[in-house]
Amino acid sequence: MQTQKPQKIDLNGDYPCPCRRRGRLTPIALTDAFGCNRCQQIFVVQDSGHTIEQLSTNYPYKRAWRWNGHQWMVVNPSLGKGYVPLTLLITFALVFLLLLTTLSAPVGSQVAFRVVAALVLSVMLVSMLWLACRR
Residue boundaries of the structural domains of the chain = 15-74, 80-134
Q: pTM (2 decimals)?
A: 0.54
Which amino acid is residue 102, in one-letter code? Answer: T
Q: pLDDT tens across 20-34, in order? A: 778 899 999 998 899
Q: Which residue has the higher pLDDT, 108 or 38?
A: 38
Query: How high does pLDDT run on average in the chain?
Result: 79
For residue 47, the one-letter residue type is D
